[in-house]
Amino acid sequence: MSGEPEELKLGNLLTYFGLVSKEDVSRGLALSTQTGLPLGKCLSMLDLLNPATIRASIEAQSMIKDGLLGLYDAREAMGMVYRKKWMLSDALIGLGVEAYASKGTRLGELLSAAHCINDDQLDMSLRVSDTSGLPLGRVLLLLNRISTPSLDLALGLQKEVRLGNLNLAQAQERLEKELVPLVVQPDSNGQKIRLGEMLVQARLLTPTEVMSAVEMAQANDKMIGEVLIDMGWVSEDLLTATLKLQEMIWKSQLSLAKAADLLNMIHKTNVSLEQAVKDTNSVPNDVQRNLLFLDFLRLSGYLSRESTKNVIGEIMANPDLIAMIMKKAQRTEELSSGYLKEAIKQSFRDASMLANILRHLKPKDEQIIESGLAIHELLQRGKLTLEQALINFAMRKNQIENEPD
């Protein structure tokens, strides 16, 4: 076994646990850089580790960082997880360190206890997280179920529970009191998202700072925007951009999450609102533009390397599919098996052709395939990021699979 890692990054820990090699981690990191997806998801996509082992490794990483688990015990436990397909908590109990396994609280449990999300939303988000390989917190943000400040607060409270500084009830109470609403719905007076709430959502001000500005504005008969500028908390240009974005939200031209991202970009880069919108609106990057439908289905978990091989085998045994593929390849004479395999690979690079093949072999999945094709097209056109595309496909797949017959 290698020595203890100097940094507690996931890749370093995975090699220390003996689950992958440094070369495997390098491959995963290269794919992560290209796609923007987490390292664990990329290692799963490369068939180097299964999702369950990755989830257990991330949980172990968190416990190590919080001082709840030593590196040696973590390595021994992860060995059991990998060999015996156990849960990490079961492996820790098997090693006699059950106290560690019982100190933590899961993020979903905390959010549910504090009524940030209901049980149905949690169950659905966990399924999407499992399918997409994205962390639960990230899924909740992308699904617009929780605000970024609230998620940051919940993660901080989760750590305090693990360290023994708070119990679950105390963390729940704090989260309920300090929760930053995701979207302020119109009240009986028709009020909508306020200026201060916009700045909190963009992580430019804290709720306490906004409250202080509101009190100062009321005491001095000023508008909150004037106070914010006087205090040096926002510039006049940033205030103008915030007001424009606020109006766009009121007119349902923009989501709050998108507006907050734009406002944050304007603050960091000092660009105009128009330029920020231009930079982020429907401009696909190389990954989005060049990602094959096959690769998208692999990343989503719909197809694995093994199931792709099975599809190729089924094609080889199906004369109708062979004829369709050969017609596409514009070859009708008797062909060698080597050329046929090459023609199949070429057909896999064509999204509509691959969709036709999958419809033929998986007729019950036709709706899923159609949804995947449509979402992949939006991805290539830059209408969705890769994360958004994976989340949307996972939700649609889950919805279709759970529809009554």
Q: What confidence tens digit (pLDDT) does each residue in 347-360 have?
A: 999 999 999 999 99
pLDDT in the model for residue 101:
47
pLDDT in the model for residue 373:
92
Any idea which of 94-103, 205-214, 378-387 has the lowest mean pLDDT? 94-103
Give 351 or 252, the one with higher predicted confidence.
Answer: 351
* For range 250-266, the mean pLDDT: 77
Taking a C-beta distance cutoff of 8 angstroms, is the pair 91, 80 a contact?
yes
pLDDT in the model for residue 337:
56
pLDDT in the model for residue 280:
61
Give 67 or 40, the one with higher predicted confidence.
Answer: 40
81-88 LR contacts (CB < 8 Å, sep 24+): 81/52, 81/53, 81/56, 82/17, 82/19, 82/53, 85/52, 87/56, 88/56, 88/59, 88/60
Give 221 or 377, the one with higher predicted confidence.
Answer: 377
* pLDDT surpasses 80 at 103: no
Alpha helices in 251-336 (DSSP H): 256-269, 273-280, 286-290, 293-300, 305-316, 319-329
Residues with Cβ within 8 Å of 114's Cβ and at least 6 positions away in sequence, in order, are 154, 171, 172, 175, 176, 179
Q: Which position has the token pair 């397909």?
A: 85
Cβ atoms within 10 A of the Cβ of 143, count? 18
pLDDT band at 278 (very low <50, low <70, confident <90, very high): low
Average pLDDT across the chain, whole number: 81
| Residue % of the chain over a pLDDT of 90 | 18
Give 256 or 306, the one with higher predicted confidence.
Answer: 306
pLDDT in the model for residue 182:
55
| Residue % of the chain over a pLDDT of 70 | 86
Q: At what angle do helices 305-316 and 319-329 cross, to 10 degrees?
A: 100
125 burial type by CB count under 10 A (0-12 exposed, 13-18 middle, 19+ buried): buried
Cβ atoms within 10 A of the Cβ of 182, count? 20
Any idea which of 179-183, 184-188, 387-391 has the lowest mean pLDDT? 184-188
* pLDDT surpasses 60 at 11: yes
75 φ/ψ angles, rounded to the nearest 5 degrees: -65, -45
User: Three-state SS for 395?
Assistant: helix
Taking a C-beta distance cutoff of 8 angstroms, is the pair 182, 115 a contact?
no
pLDDT in the model for residue 253:
67
* pLDDT surpasses 50 at 185: no
pLDDT band at 405 (very low <50, low <70, confident <90, very high): low
* pLDDT surpasses 50 at 190: no
* For range 52-70, the mean pLDDT: 84
Give 342 or 17, the one with higher predicted confidence.
Answer: 17
Cβ atoms within 10 A of the Cβ of 390, count? 27
Give 340 or 230, the one with higher predicted confidence.
Answer: 230
* For range 205-232, the mean pLDDT: 84
pLDDT band at 102 (very low <50, low <70, confident <90, very high): very low
* pLDDT surpasses 80 at 212: yes
pLDDT in the model for residue 78:
94
* For range 139-165, the mean pLDDT: 81
Tell me the pTM: 0.59
- CA trace torsion 101, 106, 112, 113 (10° rounding): 40
pLDDT in the model for residue 351:
93
Residues with Cβ within 8 Å of 128's Cβ and at least 6 positions away in sequence, in order, are 134, 139, 143, 391, 394, 395, 398
For the record, the structure tokens of 55 come out as: 């989830």
- CA trace torsion 258, 261, 262, 267 (10° rounding): 160
From start to end of 127-227, where are the E strands? none
pLDDT in the model for residue 17:
95
pLDDT in the model for residue 1:
44
pLDDT band at 45 (very low <50, low <70, confident <90, very high): confident
